[in-house]
Amino acid sequence: MEYRRLGRSGLCVSELSFGSWLTFGKHLDVHAAKECMKYAFDMGVNFFDNAEVYGKGQAEEVMGHVLSTFRREEVVISTKIFWGGESPNEKGLSRKHLIEGTRASLKRLGLQYVDVLFCHRPDFDTPVEETVRAVDFLMKNGEVLYWGTSEWPVERLEEAFIIAKELGCAAPIAEQPQYNLFIRERVEEEYAPLYEKYGLGTTTWSPLASGILTGKYRHGIPEGSRLAEHIWLRDKLTPQVHECVDELSNLAEGLGVSLAQMSIAWCLKNPNVTTVLLGASSKEQLSHNVASLEVKSKLTKEVMAEIKRVSNRCFSVCA
């Protein structure tokens, strides 16, 4: 496992990380979550991600139970704030919700601080200055060590950097965007000027495009799968996507690996990706995906070019 500095900070995170979206509290109870997190940790994963909205807080509670069995110094924990409840002040990035939401998350996680606090989405109803000041307050209070954003447009993200510098506040160190073979614009194009200018790190999510890049939907939608449970995802399975998945599966088979492993390894080959967030509903699934580390060396320039040629036909079709 390789460890990389997150942005220009001194914080080291594993190149593969483990997230709780759609699994903790639903597919994984405390026992199963502990099994997965312990396995991930034993394989070198030190970064675990959560959010206040995951399972309406249940994901943080489950992870909190497991974290009580880890030494705090050995792990990097992040959570995300934006959707905390239904009342007007329980959502967004106002000073009120950032502070109250973060403290509620800390209570559920059983922690005194999180290593990284992500602002889960841009809040166009709250001034960026208010958000920057609120996060800086949490950092000075010892409840947050670093902060970042998730799926912010480049203009608003750069505004945060500029305001933080003007005010003498801490600037974001990382963005958490979706990134996979089918969804690439934000990481590869939109954020391109920010990597060198501000040293922006990335903690990318959905490397398997909601399971499409596992190949399990090539012959229908299995019962209990993500697309079976979330109807809104089914629109991504166009005939064009099916064709791309078939060709990519053949490429992976030629390398002697699975499509999922090749897809994760492809993300890791991008030098602007700090860590790739994995999700899993079982230890076996997690073990299979962690094995993608061994696939990186098989992705030669020629293989990468062929992957790009095939995937370009579905570029952003799944967005």
Q: Can you give the pTM of this predicted structure?
A: 0.93
Catalytic pick from 54, 146, 198, 217?
54
Q: Has 54 been annotated as catalytic?
A: yes
Task: Report how far Cα 169 is from the mean position of its chain's Cα atoms.
Answer: 25
Domain ranges across the chain: 3-176
Q: What does the pLDDT look like over 208-265, one tens digit per residue?
A: 998 899 987 665 566 655 555 555 565 666 788 889 999 999 999 999 999 999 999 9
Mean pLDDT of 257-278: 98
90-99, 154-163, 219-228, 266-275: which range is least confident on average?
A: 219-228
User: Is 314 or 41 the better-scoring residue by pLDDT?
Assistant: 41
Q: What does the pLDDT look like over 79-99, one tens digit per residue?
A: 999 999 999 999 999 999 999
Mean pLDDT of 144-164: 98
- Hey, which CATH number is domain 3-176, 3.20.20.100, 2.60.260.20, 3.40.50.1460, 3.40.50.300? 3.20.20.100
Q: ∠ CA(10), CA(54), CA(241), 5° rounding?
A: 90
* pLDDT confidence of residue 241: 86
